[in-house]
Amino acid sequence: MLDVYSMAVKLKNAQKNLEISSLDDRNDALLSVSKHLWLRREEILKMNEVDVSNAKIKGMKEGLIDRLYLDENRLSNILDNIRSIEKLKDPLWKSEKVWTHKNGMTISRMSVPIGVIGIIYESRPNVTIDAFSLAIKSGNSILLKGSSSSINTNIAIVNIIKEGLKNSRISEDVVFFVEDERREVADEIMNLQGLIDLLIPRGGKDLINYVVENSKIPTLKTGEGNCHIFVDESADFKMAIDIIKNAKLQRVGVCNACEKVLIHKNIKDKFLPLLYKELNDKVELRGCELTKEIVDVKLAYENDWYEEYLDYILAIKIVDDLDDAIEHINKYGTNHSEAIITNNLRNSLIFQKRVNSACVYVNASTRFSDGTEFGFGTEMGISTQKLHARGPVGLEQLVTYKYVIVGDGQIRK
């Protein structure tokens, strides 16, 4: 079993050829991997059974077991992602801008891979395949560190990925999976500066914060989503309720689910009872003092406004106006995804500009903050930081650029 340092050295070397490989080579490799994963699906599902049964013995929550579980249908959907990525345009070696210096040199800004990417993630085995596919298509080699709970599934998947690569023109060394289950191995990875160029933690808040605060490698902060929906005075009530129900209930444990509803004070008496009627039997409702005066909900504490529940809980606050809503969101939110339901054009524009989040919605569900929905094939995570990449991280967020300057002997005067 290789240690993470040796893996990183191999990844760095393999990346040198990956980065200059043709699009055909990278696409053929993805198709070969997809074919092998499907052919050997029984092996993957058998190992997944082992992980699921271990998880049950350990008393893992049902929601988490569901994230871990694979069947033929789910695997088939994951492989669809590979084929979507295969169809996307090459993100590499594009001249994004080209101009001429007055002395005649041409200056081009070209897209290039980041290099070696590391991802430390929890539970879901689809991340293994998604992360591999996005990385390889964008010319980056990838170190995968999954959680113990899905280790048998992940080992089977990565072994088959490597077999798929052996049947392609891309080296099997562009991907390594860390089988080492010691806790310290994450720290060892975080110290591989110079070998790994970018580290992406994907999972719970504690994992993410630990990596972002302690890594010596640049990180991409993903995932935490305390998402708000603001129901403005002019909102269409039916639309507002449909969107809130979708954003809260369609999937409850995901980062783009709605956690907070803010309601304009002028519509509170009419709208709140409608919302209560629709949601009270489905989720635990909490509310501010004003909300409690109108409908029978638990009191929401200061703490609630900061929390990402990832559960059947929704907190409601009555706000004075648009400014109050924006201020609340920018103070308590996580800069992920927020929506305004309104028919007021001016308010929709102010909300778009002033809300300081990666994705800002007007009259649509926050659940669309997703690489597949955005047309990126899949995603490496949803970035909630401001620098480098924001929102769903797809191929175009996994590249950087360099300037190429071609002259004929120009010197500076």
206 binds its own copies (CB under 8 A): no
What does the buried/exposed string (b/e) look like for 323-338 if buried means 16 or more CB atoms within 10 Å of the residue's CB? ebbbebbeebbbbbbb
* In contact, 254 and 124? CB cutoff 8 Å: no
Structure tokens at 189: 């990875």
277 binds its own copies (CB under 8 A): no
Stretch binding its own copies (CB under 8 A), from 72-80, 151-159, 222-230, 352-360 = 352-360
Within residues 106-145, the interface with its own copies by CB under 8 A covers 107, 114-115
Contacts of 413 (CB under 8 A, 6+ apart): none
Which residue is listed with tokens 């789910």?
A: 74
Structure tokens at 63: 């929601």
Stretch binding its own copies (CB under 8 A), from 152-160, 283-291, 311-319, 373-381 = 373-381
394 binds its own copies (CB under 8 A): no
Residue from 64, 65, 105, 283 in contact with its own copies (CB under 8 A): 105
CA distances from 216 to 24, 199, 327 (A): 35, 9, 34
Q: HEC string of 169-196?
A: CCCHHHEEECCCCCCHHHHHHHCCECCE
Stretch binding its own copies (CB under 8 A), from 79-87, 168-176, 292-300, 357-365 = 357-365
CA distances from 223 to 18, 157, 248 (A): 29, 24, 16
* In contact, 128 and 135? CB cutoff 8 Å: no
40 binds its own copies (CB under 8 A): no
Angle at 114 between CA 110 and CA 118, to 5 degrees: 165
Report DSSP state, residue 222: B
9 binds its own copies (CB under 8 A): no
Residue from 120, 158, 243, 297 in contact with its own copies (CB under 8 A): 243
Residue from 30, 287, 367, 393 in contact with its own copies (CB under 8 A): 367
282 binds its own copies (CB under 8 A): no
197 binds its own copies (CB under 8 A): yes
Q: How big is the site for its own copies, counted in residues (CB under 8 A)?
A: 62
Chain residues binding its own copies by CB under 8 A are: 16, 19-20, 93, 99, 101, 105, 107, 114-115, 197-198, 213, 216, 218, 236, 239, 242-243, 245-247, 250, 348, 352-354, 356-365, 367-369, 373-375, 385-388, 390-391, 400-412
